[in-house]
Homo-oligomer: A and B are copies of this chain.
């Protein structure tokens, strides 16, 4: 493995995630941004932009492509095509389809001598690593994953469809009671409904607020099963304080080690979700490029990646400093 060889990276897709990946690749000392593949002819960037259908022409110039594509349709439709041409890293987040996706990417990558890193980011991704490692410590582990405080796209959209709502965002927040129960090993009965509460911040005419609040908190599936609060604010306050993309979450694992209780907790607090997802993707892109150079072809999940491969720092230095 050549620790010092620079990594030539490219990006496919230029939404929020692609733009975050662009700035983070530029910030790495060991990576160069070769360009951005897009179906659009003009992007707001000074990086080289290549038509997505010209990808094959760049195969010799790129070590790894970051697939910054949507999980709903783009990844299922396009990812194997990329894996035939390049070593790739994706943030596919359809948990139930990760085994199928890994199998498809493995076939496409392996047949072409490439490496495909699947399901990076933070959940799946760093949370997956933590779930596996923490559970492995206990003969019988109790494990709970919480999300938030986080702005939820789907629930915010649902609120915005209520007549009279001018602006709205929905925050998912872990329940304090559920967090405390999980930490003391009593998390077995926590459900998605009791683990989280929902906080809606909306802009609406004062005369409509009571009707809107009622319509939100009784909305089936979205809000009715949850503890939900609705706060109305001015347009000015909304624009000042509720335009961000914060997110976070935590994995809490407990277990009895033969008469003693231990609690392992891994938590994230993120001002801007796509930036952090891209940060994890960039680190796993480094691992993918290094694994490909050392002959490890096929698809890999984050569970199969040794930690030092994520770091630009040489292994000997990491051992001297971090271990």
Question: Is there a chain B Cβ closer than 8 Å to A214's Cβ?
Answer: no
> Which residues on B sit within 8 Å (CB–CB) of A259?
272, 275
Question: Is there a chain B Cβ closer than 8 Å to A269's Cβ?
Answer: yes
Question: Is there a chain B Cβ closer than 8 Å to A27's Cβ?
Answer: yes
Report A134 CB to chain B, min CB distance, Å: 9
Let me know if B304 and A275 touch, CB within 8 A. Answer: no
Report A86 CB to chain B, min CB distance, Å: 22
Question: Is there a chain B Cβ closer than 8 Å to A50's Cβ?
Answer: no
Let me know if A263 and B272 touch, CB within 8 A. Answer: no
Let me know if B24 and A139 touch, CB within 8 A. Answer: yes
- Complex CA gap A27/B268 in Å reads 32
Let me know if B303 and A257 touch, CB within 8 A. Answer: no
Q: Which of A124, A130, A133, A268 is packed against the most chain B CB atoms within 10 Å? A: A133
Let me know if A268 and B263 touch, CB within 8 A. Answer: yes
Question: Is there a chain B Cβ closer than 8 Å to A306's Cβ?
Answer: yes
Stretch from A55-63, A190-198, A232-240, A276-284 at the B interface = A276-284
- Complex CA gap A311/B276 in Å reads 27
A:31-78 near B, CB below 8 Å: none
Chain A: interface residue total (CB-CB under 8 A): 66
> Which residues on B sit within 8 Å (CB–CB) of A264?
126, 267-268
What is the total number of copies of this protein in its complex? 2
Let me know if B138 and A279 touch, CB within 8 A. Answer: yes
The residue that A275 contacts in the complex, of B130, B257, B263, B278, with Cβ under 8 A, is B257
The residue that A262 contacts in the complex, of B183, B257, B279, B305, with Cβ under 8 A, is B279
Let me know if B265 and A267 touch, CB within 8 A. Answer: yes
Complex: chain B residue closest to A95, CB-CB: B323
The residue that A306 contacts in the complex, of B262, B286, B306, B319, with Cβ under 8 A, is B306
> Which residues on B sit within 8 Å (CB–CB) of A95?
323
Let me know if B275 and A303 touch, CB within 8 A. Answer: no
> Which residues on B sit within 8 Å (CB–CB) of A115?
none
> Which residues on B sit within 8 Å (CB–CB) of A257?
20, 23-24, 272, 275-276, 278-279
Let me know if B136 and A126 touch, CB within 8 A. Answer: no
The residue that A319 contacts in the complex, of B20, B28, B99, B130, with Cβ under 8 A, is B99
